Amino acid sequence: MSKDVFSQAVAFFVDTTSQVPPGGWETIALGEWTVRDLVGHTSRAMLTVEQYATAGADREGFGSSEDIADRGRAAGRNLGDDPVQGVKDIAQRVSALVASLPGDHPMNTP
């Protein structure tokens, strides 16, 4: 994926997240997941890029679907009292990292 495509995807996600109404974060959105859970889960995509570009991947794998759901819910909680700003902070940090990487930088994936 090119850096431009990554940047566009991050901008789209930040814009979409910014459109969640203040009272909409705890609304059930998909199965048992709330909007906050789904945004947290999606924000993990950026955090995973950051992890793979720096420290590398956890070689134990992704875990069960419940493990994945739990990590998504935790990521949603970690966005704090202002989830939009939490997403913007992650987006800014990871976008700056990606922009600084050389084109041949290894991504340490599982």
Taking the C-alpha atoms of residue 11 and residue 13, their distance in angstroms, rounded to an integer, is 5
Burial class (CB in 10 A: 0-12, 13-18, 19+), 90: buried
Evaluate the CA torsion angle 85, 77, 75, 38 in order and state its sign.
negative
Helix (H/G/I), strand (E/B), else coil: 21 = coil
Give pLDDT, residue 58: 63
Q: What are phi and psi of 95, to 5 degrees?
A: -65, -40
Q: Is the pLDDT reported for residue 88 higher than 70? A: yes
Indicate the helix (H) or strand (E) that contains 108: none
What is the arithmetic mean of pLDDT over 11-22? 96
Q: Is the pLDDT reported for residue 10 higher than 60? A: yes
Burial class (CB in 10 A: 0-12, 13-18, 19+), 97: middle
Q: Please tell me the pTM assigned to this model.
A: 0.84
Better-predicted residue by pLDDT, 56 or 28: 28
Give pLDDT, residue 1: 57
**Mean pLDDT rounded to a whole number for the chain:** 89
The CA radius of gyration of the chain, in Å to the nearest whole number, is: 14
What is the arithmetic mean of pLDDT over 25-45? 92
Give pLDDT, residue 30: 85
Of 10-14, 24-28, 43-47, 51-55, which gets the smallest average pLDDT? 51-55
